[in-house]
Amino acid sequence: MDVTLYTWSACKHCETARGILRERGIEFAEYALDADRELKRRLADELGRADMPYARVDGELLGGVAALRDRLASEAD
């Protein structure tokens, strides 16, 4: 599974997402968006909403912790 987590320093949901991935033993790349507001805007535009954190799992862009949990649960099925 290829996972990139896009985070924001003041985001408690980003911490939750990191914990979920670590608990499941899923390796992930992390990209902090604090210094790249343009990428943050592009990800929000691509997703159609601004739910943090963003995660790209096997090419699929997700927004928010609930979406990440749902995607990981579907992998377990």
Total number of domains constituting the chain = 1
pLDDT at 77 over 90: no
CATH, residue 59: 3.40.30.10
Q: Can you give the pLDDT at residue 25?
A: 96
pLDDT of residue 76: 73
Residue ranges making up the domain that contains 36: 3-76
Nearest-angstrom CA–CA distance, 34 and 45: 17
75 pLDDT band (50/70/90 cuts)? confident
Asked if the model's pLDDT at residue 22 lies above 90, the reply is: yes
Arithmetic mean of pLDDT over the chain: 94
